[in-house]
Amino acid sequence: MGVISAIGNDVSSSLSLLQAAKSGIGKAKHFNSKYTSSLNFGEVDMSNEALSALVAQRTEHGNPASESGLSRTTLLAYLAFQEAINQAKLTSVDLMSMDTGFISSSTVGGMSNTDELYADANMKGEPSEFVTSYGGGEHTLRVIKKYGIKGFTSTINTACSSSANAIMLGSRLIKAGRAKRVIVGGADSLAKYTVNGFNALMILSENPCKPFDTTRDGLTLGEGAGYLVLEGESTCKDKIKLAEVAGYGNSNDAFHPSATSDEAFGPRLAMQRALASSGLQSTEIDYINAHGTGTPNNDVTEMFAFNETFDSIPPYNSTKSYTGHTLAAAGSIEAIFSILSLRNNELYASLNCASPISDYGTRPIDKKTAKELKHVMSNSFGFGGNCTSIILSKS
Amino acid sequence: MYITDLKAISPQLTYDNELLEGKKTTHEDQVYNVIEPDYMEFIPKGLLRRMGRAIRMGVGAGLPLVKAHSDIDAVVIGTANGGLEDCIKFLNQIVEYDEGVLTPTNFVQSTPNAVAGQLALMGQNRGYNTTYTNGGLAFENAVLDAWLLFRENAVDKLLLGGIEEISDYNYNIDSLAGHYKNEIVNDEDLLSSTTKGTVCGEGASLFVLEKAPAEYYAKIEDVEQITYPTELEFDDCLELLLSRNNLQVDDIDTIMLGYNGDSRHTPWYTHLEEHLIPNANVLSFKNLSGDYRTCSAFATWLSAHLLNGEKAFLPHIELRKKHEKEISRILIYNHFDEVRHGFILLSK
């Protein structure tokens, strides 16, 4: 697996910050928007030039800065993708095989170049270098080209549940025998587009987000990328198995384009379907990496859904308190953090929760805690009512 | 999986199936806009006013199906760009009001999964719901997901769709990128054009698929895809599709190809019909729909009707006739930009 977010450029640096309960949220240094002075962000603390240099250092493909129309979303994708295939020891022959798939996801994609898109869409002047790079699947296509991937490839956009759905689809492809290995995940970068969108919906907090706190007042936007290499039993015999994708479930809440129903139909069904597909009882879930955005609506409905799904709510946190909400990348980044908990038998503190929602006699994990973990759940809920839950187990 | 019901909004009179009687609508511009039905008959006025073009088309074609089939278990949509008009409208607000106080409607509507979400909401469908945005393979991705769902016994019936809108903005962007012709070519002459570029189309084609129905239009057998192939890899990809389905080349009696009048795109189609499947009858579809990233959904709509024995419109799309046999198996092959190539295999 490979990850880049506000708490680090790779898996090991991310783990250190999770263990130290140190958030990556703060004032943005590289992102350019009117809101950088008033709002906090989960920014990857590197310029595009520095990201390009890191790609050159990590890969055998040279410095991508010379690629025309290269977006920050793609740079983040390159870095997490390379780390993931390194860890899984995939060769270029593996990557080019017809039974290797790649499923990515993004909400902003190349639209992170908001000002260029404005000029091109309104035909103001000569075409910019980004004119073919605005599509949501652009970063996917660039990874495909760089690594010569020939098998099944896809880009999913179900908003904030996108990369959780990528994990689900990748697992299903392997189970059905349509692929032997699939690299799954997502990438999103900070963009004026999403900042202004969430701001117009009045669900951005001025402060670092406070998931599950009674005084929470909105989410913090973040950026990043996360990829996982999924392989069937037959191809990963001699490899270190980091975890097993034990179950997954998806449901549409069928209530509102940008809010969850009070009854939390979608979140409940997603978790129930994930449990059913894993064959596990709800009592066997040892930890939940919650969607936990810090909006008034999400956290109260997600808590309600926990209470309906579990006799006793397992320990839970929101790692968005470290990274901000990384949108399409959130599902895969949080699956990676869940695997870090699973492998280290550690639960990490949920930050910024001084006065927790107390309706169900529980509170998010307040400090790093040692606990033997077997099965963990990760939730991702998105606009358009899209709800996905993934269960990861020790392999 | 079998197509048991279908609905298309396209640049032809497909909504009420007049095209099926042979009535073709002529297009003589670079842009082939859809002929929209009277949505007010089934979408509440207040809701309709807020819907962007892609959502209006997707819901317009999908809602009658959702209403007629209350037992749909899943909604699977492919749309490369979703509501791009709303997207750019919101973007224009951001720039023109210098990130000031903006209204969120366009933002929410611009999410590509807004169509799948809206169909779930209006049909109160809490089943599996997803949206693929993978450029010229967005619909093929959705077909594979549907194929998996049936194979997993996860569904008995689902809604599948491919949707794309034309807005001034995406026309501008793709135009700057060189996708469209500089000169005006009418639809009769489009496919024989030898210049660069094509014409811009749009549409929403939605399908109800079932596992084992008594009656149906057509069977979707399989789907395959490849990205950035060499010619050899392309040939191997087709061979993989055929061998997986235990088929020989001559088992395919009809090929429906994405010929679009763009001299750069033609060689891939010519290669397939001359060297790989030389004995099949050759059909087109983009002279009816224009070109867009999910137009293979419209080709699927045409193919389903042909396999159901509805042939009055056949003369409008017949390119080369190699035999007199009945249509029993159709291979759709399409690429939008020579990069992503998709195959959809249907049979009687």
Determine the distance from the C-alpha atom of residue A3 to the mean position of all C-alpha atoms in its chain, rounded to a whole number.
9
Task: Provide the percentage of residues in chain A whose pLDDT is more than 70.
Answer: 100
| Chain B residues with CB-CB distance to A157 below 8 A | 82, 111-113, 131-133
Instruction: Tell me phi and psi for residue A375, to 5 degrees.
Output: -135, 130
The total number of residues shown for chain B amounts to 348
Chain B 225-244, CB below 8 Å of chain A: which residues? 225-229, 233, 236-237, 240
> Under CATH, what is the fold of the domain A244-393?
Peroxisomal Thiolase; Chain A, domain 1 (3.40.47)
Instruction: Tell me phi and psi for residue A341, to 5 degrees.
Output: -60, -50
Distance CA B300, CA B162 (A): 10
**pLDDT number for residue A172:** 98
How many angstroms separate the Cα of B177 from the Cα of each of A139, A391, B166, B338? 17, 43, 15, 14
The total number of residues shown for chain A amounts to 395
| Chain A residues with CB-CB distance to B107 below 8 A | 196-197, 200-201
What are A168's two structure tokens? 């689900």
Does residue A223 surpass a pLDDT of 90? yes
Give catalytic residues of A, as residue numbers.
160, 291, 325
What are A105's two structure tokens? 């996801």
Q: Is the pTM of this model over 0.90?
A: yes
Distance CA A80, CA A106 (A): 14
In angstroms, what separates the C-alpha of B138 from chain A's closest C-alpha?
8
- With b for 16 or more beta-carbon neighbours within 10 A and e for fewer, the A36-51 pattern comes to beebbbbbbebebeeb
Q: Under an 8 A CB cutoff, do A131 and B177 touch?
A: yes
**pLDDT number for residue B213:** 97
Question: Do B276 and B238 touch, CB atoms closer than 8 A?
Answer: yes
Task: Give a three-class secondary structure readout of A7-27.
Answer: CECCHHHHHHHHHCCCCCCEC
Whether residues B204 and B223 fall in one domain: no
Chain A 346-385, CB below 8 Å of chain B: which residues? 382-385
Q: What is the CATH number of the domain that holds B132?
A: 3.40.47.10
Distance CA B11, CA A322 (A): 49
**pLDDT number for residue B290:** 98
Does residue B88 surpass a pLDDT of 90? no
CB atoms within 10 A of CB B67: 11
* Chain segment A294-348, per-residue pLDDT in tens: 999 999 999 999 999 999 999 999 999 999 999 999 999 999 999 999 999 999 9
Does residue A124 surpass a pLDDT of 90? no
Q: Under an 8 A CB cutoff, do A196 and B124 touch?
A: no
* Chain segment B147-180, per-residue pLDDT in tens: 999 999 999 999 999 999 998 888 888 999 999 9
Distance CA B180, CA B177 (A): 8
Question: Do B56 and B48 touch, CB atoms closer than 8 A?
Answer: yes
Angle between helices B114-123 and B53-68 (to 10 degrees): 30
Q: Under an 8 A CB cutoff, do B134 and A137 touch?
A: yes
Out of 3.40.47.10, 3.40.50.800, 3.40.50.2300, 3.40.50.2000, which CATH number does the structure's domain A2-235 have? 3.40.47.10
Whether residues B197 and B82 fall in one domain: yes
**pLDDT number for residue A115:** 84
| Chain B residues with CB-CB distance to A98 below 8 A | 236-237, 240
* Chain segment B242-291, per-residue pLDDT in tens: 999 999 999 999 999 999 999 999 999 999 999 999 999 999 999 999 99
Structure-token match 């309906």, residue found: A308
Q: What is the mean pLDDT of chain B?
A: 96
**pLDDT number for residue B276:** 98
User: A73-77, B46-50, B139-143, B150-154: which has the minimum mean pLDDT?
Assistant: B46-50
* Chain segment B235-247, per-residue pLDDT in tens: 999 999 999 999 9
DSSP A350: P
Confidence band of A121 (pLDDT split at 50, 70, 90): confident
Confidence band of B86 (pLDDT split at 50, 70, 90): confident
Chain A 114-143, CB below 8 Å of chain B: which residues? 114-115, 117-118, 120-123, 127, 131-132, 134-137, 140-141
Whether residues B54 and B165 fall in one domain: yes
Q: Under an 8 A CB cutoff, do A121 and B94 touch?
A: no
Whether residues B129 and B256 fall in one domain: no
Question: Which of B210, B231, B259 is the C-terminal boundary of a domain?
Answer: B210
Pairing status of strand A244-252 against strand B218-227? unpaired
Per DSSP, which regions of chain B are E strands? 2-9, 74-78, 128-132, 157-164, 203-210, 218-227, 254-257, 281-283, 318-320, 329-335, 340-347
Question: Which of B210, B228, B255 is the C-terminal boundary of a domain?
Answer: B210
DSSP B184: -
Task: Provide the percentage of residues in chain B whose pLDDT is more than 90.
Answer: 89
**pLDDT number for residue A133:** 83
| Chain A residues with CB-CB distance to B223 below 8 A | none
Question: How many structural domains is chain B composed of?
Answer: 2
Is the complex ipTM more than 0.90? yes
Whether residues B199 and B228 fall in one domain: no
**pLDDT number for residue A269:** 98
Question: Do A199 and B102 touch, CB atoms closer than 8 A?
Answer: yes
Distance CA A387, CA B288 (A): 38
Does residue A236 surpass a pLDDT of 90? no
What are B245's two structure tokens? 């389905």
The span from the first CA to the last CA of chain A, in angstroms, equals 15
Which domain covers residue B25, as residue numbers? Answer: 2-210
**pLDDT number for residue A194:** 94
Alpha helix stretches (DSSP H) within A131-216: 138-147, 162-175, 192-200
Task: Provide the percentage of residues in chain A whose pLDDT is more than 90.
Answer: 90
Of B113, B177, B340, the CB nearest to A157: B113
Dihedral (C-alpha) B220, B224, B227, B231: value to the nearest 10 degrees?
-120
Whether residues B224 and B174 fall in one domain: no
Does residue A263 surpass a pLDDT of 90? yes
DSSP B25: P
How many angstroms separate the Cα of B283 from the Cα of each of B177, B269, B273? 28, 11, 10
Confidence band of B348 (pLDDT split at 50, 70, 90): very high
Question: Do A105 and A157 touch, CB atoms closer than 8 A?
Answer: yes
- With b for 16 or more beta-carbon neighbours within 10 A and e for fewer, the A177-209 pattern comes to ebbbbbbbbbbbbbbbbbbbbbbbbebbbeebb
Does B302 contact chain A (CB < 8 Å)? Answer: no
Question: Which of B186, B210, B234 is the C-terminal boundary of a domain?
Answer: B210
Q: Under an 8 A CB cutoff, do A137 and B227 touch?
A: no
> Mean per-residue pLDDT for B312-316?
98
User: A125-134, A211-220, A270-279, B149-158: which has the minimum mean pLDDT?
Assistant: A125-134
Does A254 contact chain B (CB < 8 Å)? Answer: yes
Distance CA B160, CA B62 (A): 9
Could you tell me which of A391, A359, A386 has the C-alpha nearest to residue A271? A391
Per DSSP, which regions of A80-128 are E strands? 100-105
**pLDDT number for residue A177:** 96
Whether residues B230 and B314 fall in one domain: yes
Structure-token match 């987000």, residue found: A209
Does A96 contact chain B (CB < 8 Å)? Answer: no
